[in-house]
Structure 1
Amino acid sequence: MFKWIKNIGPGTLVAAAFIGPGTVTICTKAGVQFGYGLLWAMLLSIIATIVLQEMAARTGIVTQKGLAEVIKSQMANVLLRNLAIFLILGAIVIGNAAYEAGNISGAALGMQVFGKELIAFYPILIGCIAFMVLFIGNYKILERSLVALVLVMSISFLITAILTKPDILAMLKGTFIPTIPENSIFIIIGLIGTTVVPYNLFLHASLVKEKWKTKEDLASARKDTFISIILGGIVSMAIIVAATATTNGNIANAFDLAKGLEPLYGEYAKYLLGIGLFAAGITSAITAPLAAAYVAKSCFGWKGTLKDYRFRIVWAIILVLGVVFSSLQFKPVEVITFAQVANGLLLPIVAIFLVWIVNKTTILGSYKNTLFQNILAITIILIAIMLGIKGIYVVF
């Protein structure tokens, strides 16, 4: 375990990215409304994430290019190539700018358990922390900072789940026997959608190049991906389990969950969940601007390191917009609406592009997909299409 922690890679950053305030909130709702009954949906989400992220990481290591760059290079038709770039940039860059406010607001919400006197200052403080980590431009420092936050978040939520003394048999039944309770379909799709994140595919393909340079490193990359995402999934499950213990049906997010558990477990529940929500928010607040910058770099073919001024300009814009929207309690409805439509369309499109890329011998050679991997991938694409239809349906 110590050796794995020492050699930990981009997989942890992917886990840090998908366990944000949105994940905490949807997992909380799943536990409060349906108990252990939707744990199977999180298990399905973990499997889908592992399959897609492994393909993205494999593409990044073998080609030593970003995913958007590889997709762009394989499209001979100029119109289709430009359309693909527009969809990717629109959904990832603009979408992340809209959702960054949610990440920062979530981290600020977690800090409120320690006092509301500086509530207006919290978003600025969180923005400054994220800015410093990103501005240093050192991959190892970035990686270790996020690993530390993920460990804090994981321990926080896992301890809270254990304190609830869960029913083990009911947990196993909910995990391995799928059921669809009445009015649960949107929560199920939400659990999958908040875990299988489109921008993580681009982020992962780009980050693996920072750590691994040869095809021989694929085994290490796969191990890192599997362990990190499974641990991230366990944290999400722990939130569902903790939420199951409360009898207050009005709980909508982790802060409400802390209040709901306080009569049973004292004020410690409030602090544990507050710390966990803070860590979840700030890790996503760092990875969302980073992903947007990597996508822009890949789409436009920029060269250079994390310290390249163009790279820094992109993530700085995303971060500043997030801080401003969060501080002013401004809800950019039009931008978020566009982001929902774009992300609803992007997930199945990116999944199809990814499967197309990983089946091309000219790109991956002997490392292309096997029949079994394709079967899994096609199943996930069908799920992604369901998510896309749901996203568009909710908007319109």
Structure 2
Amino acid sequence: MKNFLKNLGPGILVSAAFIGPGTVTICSIAGVYFGYSLLWALLISIFACIVLQEMSARLGLISGKGLSDCIRDEMKNPVIRIFILFLIFSAIVIGNAAYEAGNITGAVLGAEAVFSSVNFEIGAFSINIWSLIIGGVAFSLLYLGSYKKLEKVFIALVLLMSIAFILTAFLTKPDLSEVLKGFVPGSFDSGLLTIIALVGTTVVPYNLFLHASLVSEKWSGPKYLGAVRKELVFSLLLGGLVSMAIVVCAAASNINDIESAADLAVGLEPLFGSSATIFLAVGLLAAGITSSITAPLAAAYVVQGCLGWKGGMQSPKFKMVWMIIIILGVLFSSLGVKPVEIIQFAQIANGLVLPVIAIFLFWIVNQRSVLGKYRNNFLQNLIGGVVITLAIFLGVKSIFNVIQNL
């Protein structure tokens, strides 16, 4: 047990990244509008996440490099290499700026559910003081913290929000037979955009870059492969359990419409008392803080790999990237757009970007020049192929639906 706890780290950070306010909001929407009926989609998302993150972790461990570094090194055609790196750079950096706004906004909702809202005016803009505080916390932890210090902070925050959400689910006393029925797959056309958002909020494209880089920082060499896989499976199953607990909470609420996770807290209070609201608010605050740190961190790793920078987390260039992402996140979160719209848009966009990033990862982990005998075997390729095909199918159906509705 002591060795297992010692090996906790990268997988926990990945769980912390995907259990952000986006997950809380999308899982709340799924529970409010569809009850337990989309739990099957969440279960498939967790399985897909484990498959893809294992490839990413194995790549980081064996190659000692991040995913964007490997793509840059393996793409021999300079024109194709520049185009692909530009595509990845744009999708992840711009996407993470939008994500950061959702992360900070989500943490603000958690704080406001317990404390009051505080705003001050600067010209035509109204700035929420909680946005500045959350952004400041993320900034301070990244600026002052080494990887090992960040690891300890994340383990504490993930355990805190896991306990908070799971306790809230127990307070709702769900009908277990109804919950189990939710794991039976239904129609893809029933809540298609919500299904895509559930996939997008669980299998997060930037986590594929983040995980490889974090594993390469913590471990080196194939002898740690078993430890990496155990830590990964434990962390992501814990994250999946938390996501399902949020769906259960939302399904038990008595609200008919939802604009933020704070609405869920309000809906639970008449049925289950103020403790449900407090637990949910604490979980949302912890989720927002953890994700508001991992999104800028992932963006910095992607830029570093795409541009071939050296120096790691303490490099001034590396710090400059995550600083810009945090500043943009604080500004975007204060523009007055409804939180659920920011978060839901980011999750759906994620579901559409995912197949592209997953195909790059799939290609890299099949290169003998990168992984040698640790490249994908037949079974890993078969399962990975199914996961990527599913992601492409959902993405194409989403685009088709949007075109039909124009």
TM-score, scaled to structure 1: 0.94
1:197-219 CA-to-partner distances (Å, cap 9, x unmatched) read 10000000000011101111111
Q: Superposition pairs for residues 290-309 of structure 1, below 5 Å?
A: 290-309=297-316
Q: Superposition pairs for residues 325-344 of structure 1, below 5 Å?
A: 325-329=332-336, 343=350
Task: Count matched residues.
Answer: 393
Find out whether 1:310 has 2:317 as its counterpart: yes
Find out whether 1:19 has 2:27 as its counterpart: no
1:382 to 374, 389, 398: 389
Is the partner of 1:37 in helix, strand or coil?
coil
CA positional deviation for 1:340: 8.2
Q: Superposition pairs for residues 58-97 of structure 1, below 5 Å?
A: 58-97=58-97
Gaps of 5+ in 1: none
Find out whether 1:172 has 2:172 as its counterpart: no
Is the partner of 1:65 in helix, strand or coil?
coil
1:44-89 CA-to-partner distances (Å, cap 9, x unmatched) read 0000000000000101111101101111211111111011101110
Structure 2 counterpart of 1:204: 211
Structure 2 counterpart of 1:185: 192
Structure 2 counterpart of 1:44: 44
Answer with 32-41 or 104-113: which moved more. 32-41
Distance 1:228 1:336 in 2: 23
Q: Superposition pairs for residues 1-396 of structure 1, below 5 Å?
A: 1=1, 3-118=3-118, 120-175=128-183, 177-180=184-187, 183-329=190-336, 343=350, 346-389=353-396, 392=399, 394=402
CA positional deviation for 1:149: 1.1
Structure 1 counterpart of 2:125: none
CA positional deviation for 1:125: 0.6
CA positional deviation for 1:330: 6.1
CA positional deviation for 1:144: 1.1
Q: For the structure 1 residues 283 and 387, does the alpha-carbon distance in structure 2 shift closer, same or farther, using more than 3 Å as the test?
A: farther
1:286 is aligned with what amino acid? I
Distance 2:347 2:255 in 1: 30
Query: What stretches of structure 1 move > 4 A for 4+ residues in a row?
Result: 335-345, 390-396
Aligned residues of 2:197 and 2:344 also touching (Cα < 8 A): no
Distance 1:391 1:109 in 2: 29
Aligned residues of 1:23 and 1:194 also touching (Cα < 8 A): yes
1:199-257 CA-to-partner distances (Å, cap 9, x unmatched) read 00000000001110111111111111110001000000000011111132113432111
Answer with 383-392 or 77-86: which moved more. 383-392
Is the partner of 2:270 in helix, strand or coil?
helix
Q: Identity over the aligned pairs, expressed in percent?
A: 56
Q: For the structure 1 residues 390 and 331, does the alpha-carbon distance in structure 2 shift closer, same or farther, using more than 3 Å as the test?
A: farther
Aligned residues of 1:95 and 1:338 also touching (Cα < 8 A): no
Distance 2:142 2:394 in 1: 31
Distance 1:293 1:137 in 2: 15
CA positional deviation for 1:162: 0.5
CA RMSD after TM alignment: 2.3
Aligned residues of 1:325 and 1:331 also touching (Cα < 8 A): no
CA positional deviation for 1:319: 0.4
CA positional deviation for 1:352: 1.2
Q: For the structure 1 residues 105 and 146, does the alpha-carbon distance in structure 2 shift closer, same or farther, using more than 3 Å as the test?
A: same
Distance 1:89 1:75 in 2: 15
Aligned residues of 1:361 and 1:368 also touching (Cα < 8 A): yes
Answer with 37-46 or 2-11: which moved more. 2-11
Distance 2:24 2:64 in 1: 34
CA positional deviation for 1:11: 0.3
Distance 2:332 2:157 in 1: 24
Aligned residues of 1:157 and 1:235 also touching (Cα < 8 A): yes
Gaps of 5+ in 2: 120-127
CA positional deviation for 1:317: 0.3
1:277-311 CA-to-partner distances (Å, cap 9, x unmatched) read 11111111000000000001111111112110000
CA positional deviation for 1:173: 2.4
Q: For the structure 1 residues 42 and 338, does the alpha-carbon distance in structure 2 shift closer, same or farther, using more than 3 Å as the test?
A: closer
CA positional deviation for 1:181: 7.8
Is the partner of 2:35 in helix, strand or coil?
helix
Aligned residues of 1:91 and 1:343 also touching (Cα < 8 A): no
Answer with 319-328 or 98-107: which moved more. 319-328
TM-score, scaled to structure 2: 0.91
